[in-house]
Structure 1
């Protein structure tokens, strides 16, 4: 049991990207309801505009902003900037626990700085593994590295917990909580939601596309886009919306392949409420993202994962996800099949989401209180 002398448990929550913010916002708001906890929020600014959208949605005002984002920033830039700037915050706040999420460079650098200062680390969404340190890059390295130094591990699934135990982690410091992404859906979905893009869909089947991973830039992403274009050309009752990442390389590729395709809308990134409701209105989703693999099954939406590996094998095993690789023919084949094989499609929509029931944030807050309950003794 961790013991301190302060009257309240001081928890510093640090995140920096849009996906992190979506998953950490429910925790922040849950922690703020606890009288025994003082919650301090620090954002790195690894993302800027996209991050601010999430903060506004969940009505979170950061106490600290490292503001590290710059044009064409590299992993070197992000890591060194966070290490130097977050040290000042850690020394000022003197937290009992630093709470980080998942596998971003913000998470890795913050955890490393906390370790250097001997501050306990709580790792949300701990234990995900592909067992290929270069896939996804650099996320697999980041999450493995944080696991080496974390104090409390909040695993979303039993599989994630078993991964941590197999690596030598103390099972008494690991809890299966579900994924906080499911918590976020509770406050964002509106059955009556619509806008001009959704009205454009009309009576057609809507496909949501996302593609942004570093390792997929170049030929793999061209393969994805060509496969999607072929399917759209062959199915007049199908249309797609692709909220394009701000990365200029991705945008250039997408516009070069889809510029003459009138049944795909290329739009700017959506805020969290918009995106969740677009998913809810969709027929199926093609993605190389991680969080969508957890969220979409709660909405009854099949997901085709355009990657060679996934750190979320529970969804594959449950049947809510299908790994389709990064080759044009394999993506084309599996995408076409879900549009024509109604039995397979229906089965994927009816399966239980293996990533939780929407109570992860409450469980995490309970665990933090439990582990610091003797701090006044």
Structure 2
């Protein structure tokens, strides 16, 4: 039974049930995943939903997960014990602006077909991807309540920034990673009673997932890994994707100058991503070790063994600090995000990157970070999210969203 069959259009949340309206016995929640990055965050929530008798998660797998060029990570999802209730292929073969817009249009149609078939009572979305935005747009005419994770954040160097805030306004229930982000969501006119701080659910996986043996990691990257080594991911700065190739060359030059090898995971499907991939392919060496996808277990194993996390991925700010390692964060992509003392911010300039990498290799740097907490939570986000959802009066959950004006000063 879909939400459009039972939700009362004028009811609030929380609140009493409208006369004659009952919630379904089991709440069917569509959970949208569009890339390897968001799945690491969603997996703990999926487990918590599966374990709760009130909920039935329906995994909707889309975009890069279904792309052979990006590793077809649906296989990774199935290896983790999940199956796709629906598949939404939408990734185009190129990553220019027209292709991205076409991907969004294709995704909107595909998600609409998935909702029509599955009839979810709510849909859970995470983050800020353009593919995720298509899923939210498609849900609107169905009057499906949207649950958004990781709203209120800032990434000034990515077009994702405006998509994230748009997702906030399209959504009805919000779980943020920090109190500061909760306040920002409320500042955007969301009702405070619909916004909760959960922390980052990826940290649940960081703390619970067993580590692999070093030999398994070395087998995955097809070579022995000396100490020290780095783990690098560099995505295009999507407000200026034309600089992606040159920035990748600059980072490679810095790594080669320092002489420390790095496992380098491939970028996502952003504009400029193909240019980064081409540079990685042509300049692969004993120091630059490109891999398409390690999967969560091997990726976290690599973070637990490496000297530093390098690049401009959100993982360097959200997950790497839980391993007590420094992050060398390069360029403006993550500008505006809350960061701990683990993070060294540098411009994408050769001398600055070399200096930061050298600092990261200093044993005193790592020892100084041992007691520094991760600002994104304690690894209990998923149970908190599901417990909160279980306390709601779902029979009165409405897609009507009055704007919550700030109190006059």
Q: Common fold, TM-score beyond 0.5? A: yes
- Find the aligned partners of 1:209 and 1:11 in 2 and give their Cα distance: 34
Report matched runs for 1:1-377 at 5 Å.
1=13, 4-48=22-66, 49-72=71-94, 74-130=99-155, 132=156, 135-137=157-159, 139-190=160-211, 192-195=213-216, 196=218, 197=221, 200-202=224-226, 204-213=227-236, 215=238, 217-219=241-243, 221-235=245-259, 238-245=260-267, 247-256=273-282, 258-259=283-284, 261-310=285-334, 313-315=337-339, 318-340=340-362, 342-372=363-393
Q: Contact 2:150–2:200 at 8 Å: present in 1 too?
A: yes
- Find the aligned partners of 1:348 and 1:269 in 2 and give their Cα distance: 28
Tell me the SS of whatever aligns to 1:41. Answer: strand
The number of aligned residues is: 364
Worse-matched range after superposition: 168-177 or 4-13: 4-13
Tell me the SS of whatever aligns to 1:79. Answer: helix
- Find the aligned partners of 1:361 and 1:289 in 2 and give their Cα distance: 22
CA RMSD of aligned residues (A): 2.5
CA 1:31–1:330: 2 relative to 1, 3 Å: same
Displacement of 1:234 in angstroms is 4.2
Aligned counterpart, 2:400: none
After superposing on structure 2, the runs of 4+ consecutive aligned residues of structure 1 that deviate more than 6 Å are: none
Instruction: Could you tell me which runs of 5 or more consecutive residues in structure 1 were left unpaired when the two chains were aligned.
Output: none
CA 1:16–1:355: 2 relative to 1, 3 Å: same
- Structure 1 residues 187-245: Cα deviation after superposition (integer angstroms, max 9, x where no partner): 4341634333486223x21111111235365545534543443454344xx32221334
TM norm structure 1: 0.87
Tell me the SS of whatever aligns to 2:189. Answer: coil
Q: Contact 1:221–1:326 at 8 Å: present in 2 too?
A: no
Worse-matched range after superposition: 66-75 or 364-373: 66-75
Worse-matched range after superposition: 263-272 or 155-164: 263-272
Worse-matched range after superposition: 48-57 or 296-305: 48-57
CA 1:183–1:57: 2 relative to 1, 3 Å: farther
- Find the aligned partners of 2:74 and 2:38 in 1 and give their Cα distance: 12
Worse-matched range after superposition: 82-91 or 171-180: 82-91
Q: Contact 1:57–1:273 at 8 Å: present in 2 too?
A: no
CA 1:311–1:92: 2 relative to 1, 3 Å: farther
Instruction: Could you tell me which runs of 5 or more consecutive residues in structure 2 were left unpaired when the two chains were aligned.
Output: 1-12, 398-409
- Find the aligned partners of 2:63 and 2:247 in 1 and give their Cα distance: 32
Displacement of 1:152 in angstroms is 0.4
Q: Contact 1:101–1:123 at 8 Å: present in 2 too?
A: yes
Displacement of 1:294 in angstroms is 0.9
CA 1:329–1:272: 2 relative to 1, 3 Å: same
- Structure 1 residues 29-82: Cα deviation after superposition (integer angstroms, max 9, x where no partner): 210111111221111233323532441342110111122234226211221112
- Find the aligned partners of 2:202 and 2:122 in 1 and give their Cα distance: 22
- Find the aligned partners of 2:41 and 2:396 in 1 and give their Cα distance: 28
Displacement of 1:252 in angstroms is 2.1
- Find the aligned partners of 2:45 and 2:86 in 1 and give their Cα distance: 17
- Find the aligned partners of 2:123 and 2:374 in 1 and give their Cα distance: 29
Displacement of 1:271 in angstroms is 2.1
